[in-house]
Every structure is written in C-alpha cells, then in structure tokens.
Structure 1
Amino acid sequence: MAPPGLQMNEALRLLQNYEESGRGWFWATNAEGRLTYISETVAARLGKSGDGLAGTPLVELFDGSAGESERQRSLPFLLTRQSKIDELPLRAALEEEECWWAVSGRPFYSEGGQFQGYRGSGTDITAQRRSAEDASRLALYDSLTGLANRHHISKKLETTLAAFSQQDRSCAVMLLDLDRFKQVNDTLGHPAGDELLKQVAQRLLKIVGDKEMVSRLGGDEFQIILPDKDDRGELGDLAGEIIASLSQPYSVDGSRCIIGASVGVAISPFDGTKSGDLIRNADLALYAAKGNGRGRFRFYSQDLHQAAEDRRVLEEDLRDALVRNEMHLAYQPVVNAKSNVVTGVEALLRWNHPERGPISPAVFIPIAEESNLILSIGEWVLRTACADAATWPGDMRVAVNVSPIQFANEGLPKLVMHALASSGLPPERLELEITESVFLGDSSETNRMFEALKGVGVRLALDDFGTGYSSLSYLQTAPFDKIKIDQSFVRDATVAGSRNAAIIAAIVALAEALDMETTAEGIESLDQLDLIRKLNVSHVQGYVYSKPVPNANLLEQTETGAWTIKPSGPARQRNDRFHMYRKVGAIHGNHRYEVVIRNLSATGALIEGLLDVPLGTQFVIDFGEGQLATATVRRSVKHQQGVEFEQSLVSDGNGGLCTRHRVSPYLIAEATKRIATTLELPAFSTVNDWKKD
C-alpha cells in the first residue's frame, strides 16, 4: 500500500482531472460565506480566475433575476442556518448564455465545534433542465404554433371559472374554426398548411395579446379565453376583428393563400358555469355561425339546440327539394344609375318549404355546400336562368352566382356551354358572379378556368368586392367585366365621418381604369342613391329600385320594351328594421305586461299590447335569457307604442340584435321584489282588457 503522502497526491490529481473534465467543480467558503476556493473551470466560465473570485460572496455567482423561485431564495437561508445543501438548482450569473448548476455543500467546523464555512461541489445541469423544460412545454403547448394546447387551456378554463364563480365575475370563450383550410392542404400540401397555421397563431396573438389565453385545440381549431368579458358589443367587435384579420391573404412558400374563419361565443355564467357546458355551447354557436354562411360569429342562445336539430332536418328535406319543385328563381333588377333603365337581373334562388314556408338562402346554401348538393342545385339554377332569359325581349343580361365549389369543378365550362346551347341564350347575355374566395392562390387551375369561361363568351363579375379578400394582384390577370361593390360599403356611406364613400370612389376609379363596369349592391334609400350617382357608380341593385320578382312579373314589365324603374324609398338611410312577431315582457313599476314586438331596430322598437300609454313613459323590455333594455315611449297611438332604447342593441352575429349585457336571473328576481315593495305606479290597460270590454 502506498504511503499516505502518495495517496494524498494521487487523490489531488484525480480531483484535478475531474475538475478539468468539466463534469463537476468544487468550492469552499469561510464562515462569512465568501469564497476561499473555486475550480478554475467555473471561474473561467464566469470570466475570472479562481484567485480573482477569492473573497466574493458565494451567492453572487448566481443570477439574482432568476432568484424569484423558492429554491433560488433558499440559498441565503441555508447558508445562514448553516444547513447542508443538496443538489440545489441555481442559475449562473452569466449574461451571454443560460447555465444551470446543481450545487451541494456541507458546513465544516473546527475541533472546538466552531463553524468555519462550507465545502461543496457543483455539476452542470443545463442540458437536463432544457430537456425537462422541452418536455414540459410539449405537455402544455402546441409544438407547431407555440400556443397553449387543448389540455393546458382546459385546465386554465376550469381554474378560471372556479375562481370567478366565487367572485361573481364573467368569462367569455371563443371557439374558432378556419374556413377553406382543407383546400390549402389539398392544393399546396401539408407543410404549407402547417406554415399557414403558424401565421394564423401570430395574428391571433397580435389581436388578443395574452399568449396564455389563446390555444390551438388541434387541426384548424382554436380557442380563446377572455376573462371579465360579457359586453356582447365588445365581444362582437373582437370576433369581427379576428375574422377580418384571419381573412386577409397569406404568403406561404411563395404562394398566396386565402382562408376565412367562423367564431362561436359563449359567456359564463349566463351560458354555463362549468368548463364542459361553456365549451359545448360555444361549439354549438360555432356550428351555427358556419351554418349561416361562414365568415361570421354567433353568440350562444338556448334556441340553438333546436336550430341544430332543425338544420339536420333541413338537410334531409333539401335533398328532395328540386324533385318536389319547391325551388324557384326570382330576379332582382340591375339598373343603369343615370337612366334608371334595367340592363340586367341577378338570378336569386328561393326555397319555399312545404311546411316551414320560405327558407333564407343564407340558411340553405351553406347546407347545400357542406352536404355536396351545391353542384346539382347550381346546375339547375344555371339551366333555369338561361332558359328564362332566352324568353325575355331585348338584350337584358342575367347574372348567376357561382360558388367556389362549382368554380373548382373542372366540368363547369362544359356545363355552361350546354345550358347556353339548350336554351339558345347568347353567351354575352350570361354573367357569372364569382366571389373573391375562389382565389385560394394564383394557381394555374384558376387561370385555366377563367380562360375556359371567357372562351365560352360569357361575362364575369367579381362579387362582394372589398369584403376581406381583396387584392389588386388578381385584377391584373383575372378577366372580369364588372366589379360588384359589397353592400357593407354602401351601408353608412352617407353617415357623417364615414370613409366608405372614399373607398367606393377608389373602387370606381380602379374599375374605370381597367375598363370594367361597377354595381353597388344593397341600395335602399334615396340619399344612398344620390351618393352612388355622384361617385359615378355605373349600375345599382337594391330595394330603392326593386325587390326580386318572379319571372312572370319580369315578363310583364318588359313586354313593351325597355324596363324603366323610378327609384323610391326612404329619403335617408335608417337603422335596419326587423319585422317580426315576438312576445316579450314590458316592466313598469311593479307591473309586468306581455306585449308583442312588431319591428325592431338597434335604437328602438314598435310594440303593441298596451292602450294609450303617455309619451315619456319608461319600460324595461325583457327579451328573455337575462336581456333587459330600458326604453322610453316616444310615440303612442292607441295599442301601439314606438319606444327608444336607452342603450343601443348590438349585432348577435346572425343578422339579428341582442343587448350588450345580460342580467343574472337571481338579480332580476331581487330587483323585481325590491321595486314591488318600494314603488307603486298605476297599471295600464292591455289590449286583452280592451277586447273584454
């Protein structure tokens, strides 16, 4: 056995080799916690030598900014208590790189038992820590987009709702589904689809801001949590902003992609207090938004459960609608803005259900697209429109809408030729209206389709221009004959401060430069018509001239030659009014009356059911589901009252209106009880009382 001195030298050499290998290092302090020894390898990492660090407090080797964790704060505590240190993870005080050490140490004492300091060791655990962080990130975050994943956001929602239920706070949830994303995958491939999802995530984060509240659930589905949000006006604006942003063109690997988005919104506690209930109801709202034409948002309401079942039944009925002759075409005139002469009409599909009556195209067209019925229905529309137009005197054109699904069908040009040939209609009298959503990318297939259709000799119109997909690039090559200005630009164009008129003027200038006609859609008031004329829009379509008419009426109007229509309508644009027969409650004092809303706008309503109500009387209109609106009587004639709302209603995302806020049923009951005991106002006579008398 070697002498003790040789053994000591051998041990020192082994320790030196261990230090130089970088797998570990040693340190020692005095009783004040200042270094008396540190391995040169670690000192070099810190930019100093071992001698240069002598006398430095041990705690200064570690990053104070990373010291917010419980373990980091425990180092000074352990040193003060003279406790042993076991594998304590600490971040090195390095600016250029991230480095973590596991530090261990033991206090040592003099023969008399007096504390002398610490002797310890350390190992580099940076790689292990990064691996653990990566594993944790994969467990909580989507590897593609970096957003929270389904598991993480579900836990976040559960904890948020649990906390908020104790504090009477609200929380909104949005579910998003991308429209036409499958076409990107099918056309450009899955790598392009993945890149597109990354860009979608970036746009969502830019709008929402809080990364922890935005998640990708999988595929093309996303979820957003919005704590303390219940204002449906604000939520509707946010949903609209998200839809508009996600609908702007994307650039992916040199290709231009266009998709859209639909949004469903549910709000706790009104639409559910548990995570599962809230998500289910938001999903139901999303389904309704997609079913009403996509590119929309929808708030959850209780009637959506019945609506979902109704939609399923409608799909079944739609399959037999053509065979049963339940569908017909109506034609809305397109009028020369200067001469008031009808130059053409747009063919609009109508479905008269044998039990439910007229079904809105906004309802059944999306069903037809999803159920793959749009090709057969579209073919019937094209053939019927051509056959009808061939019987009209003169050279009046007929416009037929072509859905993106029809446009993607390579057999479309042949179908158009057959419809023209069988009807005898000259090709130049047929105008195909195509929306901007067909421009998924500037693909050769799209260009070939345009060339084929123009080869047939028909006219092409760009429909709904300016609704979110607009790009000047495709106007350079796509052979359009007309641009149709979407009615969203016409609406509010006459309102002071609106920029819509300037936008319309720019579209007209662009069309004129490209030798294209322009048509403004949705013109309903005379002031809108005057503005459109001043802006040199060439053609007008809207109720100010005519609603859609059956073919028989059209033939009557054109028997004597040119069809001229004198414009008529309200002098000025007014808020949209929804004609209806809806029973609601009208609360006045301690009385609640059942009344009927005959028409409704954002700012007021026409109600009936009470007799001779004085002007200025205030009611609380109860629309149900916690929707209360304070209203003042501004007009009163016998059993009808025109009321003005104290706060305007907002869009419900489905073409209707709703209140900004909702009131808990418990608060309603409490308030009603309090009013009943503190306020006594005379009751009004009702229509039923009048009928009894």
Structure 2
Amino acid sequence: MPLGFRKSAGDRKAPAPEKREAAPRPERNVVLGEVEELGIGMFWATDAEDRLTFLSQRALADLGAEAESLIGTPLTRVFLDVEEEGSASPQRSLAFKLKARSKLDEQIVAVPTARGATRWWRLNGRALIDAKGNFQGFRGSAVDISAQYAYETQVARQSQVDELTGLANRRKLGERLAAMLAAFRASKRSCALMMVDLDRFKQVNDTMGHPAGDELLKQVAQRLSAIVGQAGEVGRLGGDEFQVLLPDMDDRGTLGELANRIVQSLSQPYQIHGRRAIIGTSVGIAVAPYDGVEAAELTSAADMALYSAKETRAGTFCFFTSQLRDAASKSALLGDRLRDAVDKNALKLAYQPLVDPETNEVKCFEALLRWHDEEEGDISPAHFIPIAENDDLIIRLGETALRQACIDAVAWPETIRVAVNVSAKQFVRPGFRKAVVGALQASGLPAGRLELEITESVFVGDLEEVDALFRELKKIGVRFALDDFGTGYSSLGYLKHGHFDKIKIDQSFVRGCTENGDINPAIIAAIVALAKALGMETVAEGVEAMDELELVRARGADLVQGFIYSRPMTQEQVLARFEAEDAEFKPSGPPRHRSERITIFRKVGLIHEDHYYDVILRNLSKTGARITGLAGVPVGTDVVLDLGHGQLVVSKVVNATENSQGLKFETHLIADGSGGFMTRHRISPYSLAEAGIPLAALGAGAFPLAKWREANKSVPKFVQLELSAPGL
C-alpha cells in the first residue's frame, strides 16, 4: 500500500519499473514510514507548475487535512512565508526560490492546519531534472519545529520590544533608524527623529512608588502611540525616555504641531491606582539629512535639542540648530560662573510694577533676579535661570530672593504687595513652608502682602501632596498667583481648588494680539471671564504698545505689567518715586505693536542673481530682518537670505540706508520652540549636491553656498563692505 497520497497528471497508468537489481519498493516504503514515525522528517513533492503532488501520511496527520484538499494546490498557498523577527539576514521568499529553481535549505514556513492553528516547518528540497534536462518539480522533506520556533520568536521579540510598555526598545529603534537612514540616503528622502523626555517623573516614583511609576509609563506609551499613529514608530529607550521615528517628514511646521500635541497630551492628568498625578514633557527634534545622515549624528542632534528644550522651559519642544553645540558648551561655562556669583551674592533684585490700567496706580511689584557679570555684562534670566534649575542653585537663589523681597517691601506703602517667583523645585522641597514663615518673621512683612508666583509645573507629580502644601501656606495668609497661564501643562482642574488669587496671562497671548485675524483677543477674554467667575484677579504680561494696552483693558484685565508702564527698577528707584509721591505710572510706548523680533549679531549670506555676499544679521522677526554689510542696494531689490543649514528665504528690500537694508520675507518664518525663528522648509543638501556641491563638502550646520562664488559670471551689483569695520 503506498505511503501518503500520490496523484499523477491525468488518469494514465504509471510506467512499469525498470528491471534492475534494487531493494523491493515495499521495503523502501517501510523505511520511509519508519523515518516519519521516528519524527525525523516528512516528505512532499510538486509538479513542474509548483503544485503539490505528494504529501506523506505523517504530514497530513500533522495538519489534520484530507489529502484531496491539498493535492493540486500551489505550494506557496500550502507553505506560507514568515518574517524572522530580529534576523540580520532575512530569508528569500519561497516563491522566489521556486521560480529560480534554487535549492531549499532550512526554509522556515508557516503551515495553516485544518483545525485553524498554525504550525512551523523547516523545509529542505531540490529541483528534479529528468535525463532530457526538463524540470519535473521539487522533491523535499520537512521537519516540524513549532515548539522551537515559538521559543526563538519569543526570545527575538524580547530582544526587540520593551517589556514594560510593549513598544520598540532601544536596540530595535537603533537598528530601524540606521536602516532607514541608509535606505533614505540612496532615495534622497528625509526623516525626523523626536526625543521625548518626561519632566519630574522621578517625583512620581518617589512619592507614589515604583509600581505607580510603571503604570504611568504604560499610559504614556499608550497616549504617545495614539498621537503618532501610523505616521511613525514609537519606542522607549529606557527610564522615562521615549523616541519617535517619522519617515518622510521634514516640514518643521507640521513637526512643531505634532510635538506640541505630544507635550499637551502627555501633560494631562493620569489616574494611577486611584490617585491623580501630572507630569510634564519636553521634546527635541532633528531632521535628516539636514541635521545628520548617520544614526549617531541624528541622535546626538535630537539629544541636544531636547536638552535645549528642558533648559529653556520644561514642557516645550525645540528643533536642533547648529548654534546648540556652541550653546551647550557655553552653558557649562556659565554654570561655573553662576555658582561663583551666588556664593558672592552678586545677583540682585529689580522690581517691575503691576498697574491698574484704569487709574495707572501701582498695586504690586514683581521681584526679578538680575545678574551683571564682570566679563559678560548683563546676563538674561532666560539664560541663567534654566541653568540654576538644572543645578539646584535655584533653591539657594529662591530663598535669598524671598528674604530680600520681603525686607524691601516693608519700606513701601502698606497697600502695595510684592510678588516673588517660586520654582517648582523650591516649592515641593521639604522645608519651603518654614522658609516662607522665616522670611515674613525676619522682615515683619504681613503675610497678606506677599504673593508667591507659581507656574503650572508645580502640579507635576502627586497632586494630593501639592494640594496639602497649598493649604498649609494659605493658612499662613500669603497669596498665590498662577504665572505664565496657558503655556504650561494646561490642565484647568487645579483652578477649582481655590488656591490662586490671581492669574497672569502669559505675554505670548498679548504679543501680536492686535494683528488682523489673531485669535489671542478671544483667548484673553476667555481667561479673564474664567478668572472673574472664580473670583481671581488677572494680569496681562508683556504689554509694550498702546494698542495692546487698549485691547487688554477693553477685555477686562485687572492689572497690566510690561514696558508700557515701566522696566524693572532697583529698590532705590522705587523708594525715590514713593518719596516724591509719584506712585502713578503713566503708559508710554509705541502706538502700535510691531512684529516680535529678536536682536542678533550673526554672519549670514545674501544671494542676488549669481552672486553670494557676506552680511551681518542685526535683527530678525517672522516677517523680515535687518542686515548690514552691503552698499548700493536699491529698495525693491529681490534677494534670497541664507540663514544657514539650508534655510533660504526669498525676500525684498523694503528700506535701505548707506550700509543697512530692511528685508521683507515672502513667506513668514515660524517659531523654533526656543525663542528664535526658522524657515518652515529647508533646501535639501541632496538638491545642493545636484547643483554641483558634493555632499562631502557640506559642513555641519552651514551648507557652503559660498561655493557659488566660483561660478560667478556677471559683475556684482552691490558693494561688499568689510564686516569687521566699526559699526557693523
């Protein structure tokens, strides 16, 4: 009786065997049957069209199938290809090998069974060629490796997947990024890399326990995956660090919007084991091929951008720029000098008034730290406060400022309060309540005249513990102001607890609020209405122009703070005004808001026709810039401003002096997330290479468009001035 089931083409009788000395066929069948019974192997065969013609009895039993249901079926429908997860050299498909008539060596396939399950077999096989050289089909064997395959797949998966969150782990992310960049270099495509770091995650671990921290990470992974969706791949590097890989994405406007959604979503409250917790998120972004073409380069760039985001203000995002490398080393040096300055008590307080816009009377002064360095001059708080935050110097600075502000305020009229900024680190630190009480007692200042300005970042961590601290401080009698409202973690839940007496509307909502089509007036009105409903005062920050003042006054802001009334003043200047009975601050400023611009002094390029000129960028806004370094540039000239790193801005000269020109941009710039501006799109280095500039010549951070000079044909229209000359 034959083994298994064999069906010949048509109904022809099999030819009689040749007469030769050989073992009887029944004996062969017995041997093959014994091999199957011992589990050594199973056997199969195909015809010249790769259709299954034979499957041994043990194989049929293993699959639970009737022979008639499989015989005549294409082999690729019986044996299915599998992807070997984590394999550095994946096997070629079964269809490819059959078509090429290649031998099958250890080919792993998935075999669906009649019972709805799947088995995994390892195939071996060879093409059968007759004496005339005609292909007759394949003959082969199979071994069931289901148990071994399941185990190896699990091991491979564990090496690629983060066990806690189920996301890709560091190893898989690294392999995916390297493979993607290699493939994209060949096809001249781009991809973006986001580094996501959780702010104050350690506080949740410390106050609520590690199981709560693990649950929080799982929920973060779910939110992050939902936001990114099919646009990219999300993974966890370890700890509280995540990574997002986004192929074919280089629009920095779109990337900024995605990063902002990530920040806002991950910063909403979490329910963990019946308790509420809030964390913050910072995001660093780098884009290939602009910021790197190798995995290590791009990862380093994204890391630097993340560091800048956390240093600038936690709960935001930042794009990589070439300046960040210099800024990182400068910050380290600045940190050393800051420690020396704190030891020498070199930082002083200045006071900016908060004024009633109806009466122009000052109601409060905000205490602001100022640092004048002997070498660098005045250093902005935007630079040294983040450094102090990272180094815990903020604790010493905060306590010193609190004591001094209370002492200074005692000398003011009794109707005027003093507001002191309190960092999140300082607020949640054990002993903060004692420090507040000590400052009040030492100065003799009534508690009701002290306002503690808190940002939304204090609500990161265990909300129950934070609420308890608020209640203790409210019992003392101090007031609370919520600073920079709307720019942090944007959860309104904590307002209902009644901790705050005042909401400060962040200056980002005030700047540009008078421009046509701006939605900020509606936001300001909504915040004012919310505050009034909750019995709180409102302060509009950063008011500089008369039209801005009129708008925030019309929208109902109780107090106004900004250059429109006064710059920060020393204690001596404040006392001098009170002694002169000049407590009224009259508004003074430009009639209309001007587009936000930053003062800058940087060498950039200007392209006109086929010439490249060196110029100095003096200031920059979303809509235009001012440059120096050229003479003889007529108003109305069309030029291209090269901001470096592939950022080319089509511009028009709208005003000019002897050596200075004002440019208006054809397309507005966008915010870079760290206080600067950037183009939405960049010119790919691949495009520059096609223009004759080899990729090998592209320096880090600034593509050498100056090489265009070598191809200049026409006479320059402008006069290039010496950039080191006085006044430039």
Shift of residue 687, structure 1, vs aligned partner = 8.1
Distance in 2 (CA, whole Å) between partners of 1:544 and 1:365 is: 25
Match of 2:698?
A: none
The equivalent position to 2:339 in structure 1, one of 296, 319, 338, is: 319
Match of 1:595?
A: 615
Deviates more, 1:406-415 or 1:607-616: 607-616
1:684 aligns with 2:707: no
Q: Residues 383-415 of structure 1, C-alpha deviation per residue, up to 9 Å, x if partnerless? A: 111111110124111111111111112311221
The equivalent position to 1:353 in structure 2, one of 373, 391, 398, is: 373
Q: Aligned to 1:217, what secondary structure does the other structure show?
A: strand
1:391 aligns with 2:411: yes
Match of 1:208?
A: 228
Distance in 2 (CA, whole Å) between partners of 1:29 and 1:161 is: 43
Distance in 1 (CA, whole Å) between partners of 2:290 and 2:543 is: 38
Aligned AA (2:428):
A
Shift of residue 543, structure 1, vs aligned partner = 2.3
Aligned AA (2:717):
P
Shift of residue 655, structure 1, vs aligned partner = 0.9
Conserved? CA contact 2:104–2:123, under 8 Å: no
Q: Aligned to 2:293, what secondary structure does the other structure show?
A: coil
Shift of residue 349, structure 1, vs aligned partner = 0.9
Shift of residue 87, structure 1, vs aligned partner = 7.8
Distance in 2 (CA, whole Å) between partners of 1:605 and 1:54 is: 75
The equivalent position to 1:295 in structure 2, one of 315, 330, 336, is: 315
The equivalent position to 2:198 in structure 1, one of 175, 178, 181, is: 178
Q: Residues 419-442 of structure 1, C-alpha deviation per residue, up to 9 Å, x if partnerless? A: 111111111110011122211355
1:147 aligns with 2:167: yes
Q: Aligned to 2:719, what secondary structure does the other structure show?
A: coil
Distance in 2 (CA, whole Å) between partners of 1:276 and 1:448 is: 46
1:522 aligns with 2:559: no
Instruction: Describe the shift of the 1:624–1:71 C-alpha distance in structure 2 as closer, same or farther (beyond 3 A).
Output: closer
1:668 aligns with 2:705: yes
Instruction: Describe the shift of the 1:282–1:631 C-alpha distance in structure 2 as closer, same or farther (beyond 3 A).
Output: same
Question: What is the 5 A alignment of 1:313-462?
Answer: 313-441=333-461, 443-462=463-482
Instruction: Describe the shift of the 1:86–1:404 C-alpha distance in structure 2 as closer, same or farther (beyond 3 A).
Output: closer
1:509 aligns with 2:546: no
Deviates more, 1:66-75 or 1:281-290: 66-75
Q: Aligned to 1:243, what secondary structure does the other structure show?
A: helix
Q: Aligned to 1:285, what secondary structure does the other structure show?
A: helix
Q: Aligned to 1:462, what secondary structure does the other structure show?
A: strand
Match of 1:255?
A: 275
Aligned AA (2:565):
Y
Distance in 1 (CA, whole Å) between partners of 2:575 and 2:258 is: 47
Aligned AA (1:380):
T
1:274 aligns with 2:294: yes
Conserved? CA contact 1:24–1:124, under 8 Å: no
Distance in 1 (CA, whole Å) between partners of 2:241 and 2:661 is: 46
1:73 aligns with 2:95: yes
RMSD value, Cα:
4.1
Deviates more, 1:460-469 or 1:88-97: 88-97
Match of 1:136?
A: 156
Match of 1:554?
A: 574
Aligned AA (1:158):
A
Shift of residue 595, structure 1, vs aligned partner = 3.5
Shift of residue 489, structure 1, vs aligned partner = 2.9
Conserved? CA contact 2:263–2:281, under 8 Å: yes
Deviates more, 1:343-352 or 1:609-618: 609-618
Structure 2: state its 5+ residue gaps: 1-25, 84-89, 129-134, 694-703
Match of 2:655?
A: 635
Instruction: Describe the shift of the 1:245–1:434 C-alpha distance in structure 2 as closer, same or farther (beyond 3 A).
Output: same
The equivalent position to 1:217 in structure 2, one of 234, 237, 241, is: 237
Distance in 1 (CA, whole Å) between partners of 2:157 and 2:76 is: 30
Shift of residue 485, structure 1, vs aligned partner = 2.1
Conserved? CA contact 2:457–2:488, under 8 Å: no
Match of 1:111?
A: none
Shift of residue 477, structure 1, vs aligned partner = 2.1
Distance in 2 (CA, whole Å) between partners of 1:556 and 1:65 is: 86
Distance in 1 (CA, whole Å) between partners of 2:59 and 2:350 is: 89
Match of 1:243?
A: 263
Instruction: Describe the shift of the 1:397–1:662 C-alpha distance in structure 2 as closer, same or farther (beyond 3 A).
Output: farther
Distance in 1 (CA, whole Å) between partners of 2:104 and 2:290 is: 55
Aligned AA (1:368):
A
Distance in 1 (CA, whole Å) between partners of 2:256 and 2:550 is: 31
Distance in 2 (CA, whole Å) between partners of 1:84 and 1:257 is: 57
Distance in 1 (CA, whole Å) between partners of 2:276 and 2:316 is: 23
Aligned AA (2:328):
A
Instruction: Describe the shift of the 1:631–1:95 C-alpha distance in structure 2 as closer, same or farther (beyond 3 A).
Output: farther
Q: Aligned to 1:425, what secondary structure does the other structure show?
A: coil
Q: Residues 662-681 of structure 1, C-alpha deviation per residue, up to 9 Å, x if partnerless? A: 5647272564444x12x435
Distance in 2 (CA, whole Å) between partners of 1:351 and 1:440 is: 29
Distance in 1 (CA, whole Å) between partners of 2:76 and 2:375 is: 82
Conserved? CA contact 2:398–2:422, under 8 Å: yes
Shift of residue 180, structure 1, vs aligned partner = 1.1
Distance in 2 (CA, whole Å) between partners of 1:84 and 1:276 is: 38
TM-score (structure 2 length as normaliser): 0.80
Shift of residue 286, structure 1, vs aligned partner = 2.5
Aligned AA (1:682):
K
Distance in 1 (CA, whole Å) between partners of 2:46 and 2:256 is: 66
Q: Aligned to 2:492, what secondary structure does the other structure show?
A: coil
Match of 1:573?
A: 593
Distance in 1 (CA, whole Å) between partners of 2:262 and 2:367 is: 32
Instruction: Describe the shift of the 1:129–1:498 C-alpha distance in structure 2 as closer, same or farther (beyond 3 A).
Output: farther
Match of 1:538?
A: 558
- How many residue pairs get matched? 668
Distance in 2 (CA, whole Å) between partners of 1:589 and 1:438 is: 54
Aligned AA (2:450):
L
TM-score (structure 1 length as normaliser): 0.84
